[in-house]
Amino acid sequence: MRPLAALIGLTALSACKADNPLEETGATPKGYAFAEPGDSPPLRGPGGPERVFDDAELWVNCARLHGDEARDYMHHNLVMPYRGHLVLPWSPEFGTGGISFFDMTDPCNPIKEGEGWVQQMRESHSLGFLHLPEGDEQAGDYMVSTGALGVLIWDITDVTAPESIAYLTLPDVVYPDAYARVVLSVAWQFPYLYVAAADNGVYVLDTSDLDAPVLVGSYSFDPVLRAGGVFAMGTRLLVSSAEGKRAAILDISDPINPLPIPGGLFQTEDAGGDSWEAYHANIAGPWAFFARKEGSGGIMVTDISDPTAPAYAGDISIEGNGGYVFYDEGLVFSGESSIARIYDVSALPDITVVGEAHLPGDLDTFTPYGNVAVLSVDEDAEDDIASAVLPWRSEPDHQAPEVLMVVPTDGETGVATTARIGVGFNEMVDAASVFAGSIRLFDDEGEPVEGWGNAQESVAHYVPKAPLKPGTTYTIEIMAGGIMDLNGNRVAQTTRSSFSTAGSR
C-alpha cells in the first residue's frame, strides 16, 4: 500500500512557486518513434453496455449504484468511465467519502469490483484520469478529485483497492463552506491541474510528482467570478461561474500563468440577449453548455470557437432548476433538481426535449453511459437510492468518436512554445487511449514530438515533454484506430491540422 501523503498547508503562492516543467531544456530523443494508434492498454472492465433494451424498458430506472454500505451518505454527483468500468464517487459537501468501480456488462445488474474511502474527500463535480505506461517511473492509473480543503490524487491501478496517495490543501479554502471559498471542480491536463476554487479564482498545480503535487500559479477575477467549473482545451481554459451570469475564457499558453483574453469574458444569455444565472457548465468542441438556474430550467449554449468573441448559439427555457450538464453525440443530459432531461442540440439554435427522467431527491446530475444514463441526487435521497441506472436508448453505442475541434486551431500562428494540444470530441473518450501514438505531433522536419496524453470527459490532451521550437510549423494527427469511447469504438478517420510557433529560429 502506498502511504497517504502528509497534509500540506499552503498559505502563500510565493512560498511554493515551482519551475515550469516545460521550461526544462532538452528535446525529443533522436530515434524516438510513436507507438501504433491502437496500442493503448486494454480495457480492464467490459466497457459500455452492450445490452439491447425493448421499448417497455426505456425511461424506467432499473438498478441502483451504491458506495460503501456503512459510509455512503447518499450524496452522489457524476459518474465517469475509465478503462471499461463505471467510476462512482460518493461524498457529500460536508466531506468524507470514496469511489467505487462497477462492471456494467448488464447495466441493470451492476457488479461492484472495488472501492476506496478517504476522510479528506468532498463532493466531486468532475474527475480527471491518467494512465502512465510501463517504463515510466510512475507507471499506473490515477484519478484526481476534489478534497475538503483542496485536491486528492488517487492511485487506481488496482480497481479492487483504489487509494488516495496525495492530499494538497490550497490557500483560502474554507471548510465546510459550500460555495464561496471551496474547491468545486478540476481539469487535469497532465502534468498541470487547473482547480476552480469559487471566489478564490483558479489555482494551477504541477502534478509531475503524483505523490507530491505543488501549487505553481493562480488567477483571480476582479470583480469576483465565482469559479465553479474549469475546462481545459489546449491553450484555452473555460471558467464557468457557480450560480452566476458570467463565464470567461483564459489564455493558458503559459500553463502556470493564466491570462485574460480580450473579449473572453461573457454573459450567459438567451436568444433575446437577456443574461441568466447558470448553475454549472460543460464543453464539447466549440460549444459551452450552461445549466440554466434563475427562474427556470433548460440550457443555454455559447459558441466559444473564437475565444475573443463568444457568441449565443441556442437556448431553451423550461420548468426546472439547473444542475449539471453533459454532452453525448448531439445530446445534452441535464439534471434540473426535480427532474432530469435529455435535449437534442444537433440543430442549434433549435433545441428540443428528447425525454425526461425522475429520481426522488435533489436530482442535479444525469450522466450518459452508452445507451443508459445515471441519475444522481446530492441530497434528500429516498430508500437509499442516490444513483439509479436508466436505459434511454434501445441499441448500444457503436458509433466512433468524432473530432469537433482542435486547439491550437488549424493554421494558427504565433503559438507559444509552451503550448499543449487539446482535442474536443463529440462524446467522452477513454483517458488511457490518449497517448503518443493515438495523437501525434511532428515538427516541420518530420521529427516526432514526445509527449504525455490523457483525457477528461470529451477533451483529449497532448502535452509535449519539452518546449516546442520557435518559428516552426507543427502538424497534429489524431489517428484513425486510436482514441476510443467507453464502448471501445475507435476514431474512424485521421484528422490533421497544423500551427506555427512564435519567434524565429
Residue 157 has pLDDT above 70, yes or no: yes
Q: What angle do CA 355, 278, 88 make, to 5 degrees?
A: 60
- C-alpha closest to that of 264 among 245, 242, 239: 239
The answer to whether 340 and 332 are in contact (CB under 8 A) is no
The answer to whether 373 and 357 are in contact (CB under 8 A) is yes
Residue 158 has pLDDT above 60, yes or no: yes
Where does the pLDDT of residue 175 fall: very low under 50, low under 70, confident under 90, or very high at 90 and above?
Answer: confident
The residues that bridge with 247 in the sheet, in sequence order, are 240, 266
- Matching residue, cell 509527449: 451
- Matching residue, cell 459510509: 71
- Matching residue, cell 449539471: 324
For residue 325, the model assigns a pLDDT of: 98
The residues that bridge with 415 in the sheet, in sequence order, are 501
Where does the pLDDT of residue 177 fall: very low under 50, low under 70, confident under 90, or very high at 90 and above?
Answer: confident
Q: How many whole angstroms separate alpha carbon 380 and alpha carbon 407?
A: 41
For residue 176, the model assigns a pLDDT of: 84
359 contact partners, CB below 8 Å, separation of at least 6: 61, 340, 375, 376, 377, 385, 388
DSSP 47-105: -S------GGGTTS--EE----TTT--S-B---EEETTEEEEEE--TT--EEEEEEE-S
CA-only gyration radius of the chain, Å: 21
Residue 7 has pLDDT above 90, yes or no: no
For residue 262, is the peptide bond before it cis, meaning its omega torsion is within 30 degrees of 0?
no
68 contact partners, CB below 8 Å, separation of at least 6: 90, 98, 100, 115, 117
The dihedral region occupied by 238, where left means phi > 0, alpha psi between -120 and 50, and beta the remainder, is beta
Dihedral angle, C-alpha 63, 67, 69, 72, nearest 10 °: -120
Each residue of 306-317: pLDDT tens digit? 999 999 999 999
Query: What is the helix (H) or strand (E) element at residue 290, kind and residue range?
Result: strand 287-292
Each residue of 31-80: pLDDT tens digit? 799 999 999 999 999 999 999 999 999 999 999 999 998 999 999 999 99
Q: How many whole angstroms separate alpha carbon 372 and alpha carbon 183?
A: 30
Q: Which residues of 467-484 are buried (b: 16+ CB within 10 A; e: fewer)?
A: bbbeebebebbbbbbbbb
| The total number of residues written for the chain in this structure | 505
Under DSSP, is residue 446 helix (H, G, I), strand (E, B) or coil?
A: coil
Instruction: Please state, for a pLDDT cut of 90, what percent of the chain lies above it.
Output: 91
Q: How many whole angstroms separate alpha carbon 100 and alpha carbon 231?
A: 24
DSSP at 58: T
The answer to whether 289 and 344 are in contact (CB under 8 A) is no
Each residue of 350-375: pLDDT tens digit? 999 999 999 999 999 999 999 999 99
For residue 179, the model assigns a pLDDT of: 83
C-alpha cell at 488: 471501445
Q: Which amino acid is at 52?
A: V
- C-alpha closest to that of 455 among 35, 101, 139, 83: 83
For residue 425, the model assigns a pLDDT of: 98
Where does the pLDDT of residue 5 fall: very low under 50, low under 70, confident under 90, or very high at 90 and above?
Answer: very low
3-state secondary structure string, 338-390? Answer: CCEEEEEEEECCEEEEEEEECCCCCEEEEEEECCEEEEEECCCCECCECEEEE
Q: How many whole angstroms separate alpha carbon 170 and alpha carbon 91?
A: 19
H helices, E strands: number in the chain:
0, 36
For residue 20, the model assigns a pLDDT of: 52
- Report the sign of the C-alpha dihedral through residues 119, 181, 231, 187, in that order: negative
143 contact partners, CB below 8 Å, separation of at least 6: 82, 87, 99, 127, 128, 129, 130, 153, 154, 156, 162
Where does the pLDDT of residue 27 fall: very low under 50, low under 70, confident under 90, or very high at 90 and above?
Answer: low
Model confidence, pTM: 0.94
C-alpha cell at 100: 467505487
Q: Which domains does the chain have, with CATH numbers?
A: 25-42+399-501 (2.60.40.3710), 55-391 (2.130.10.10)
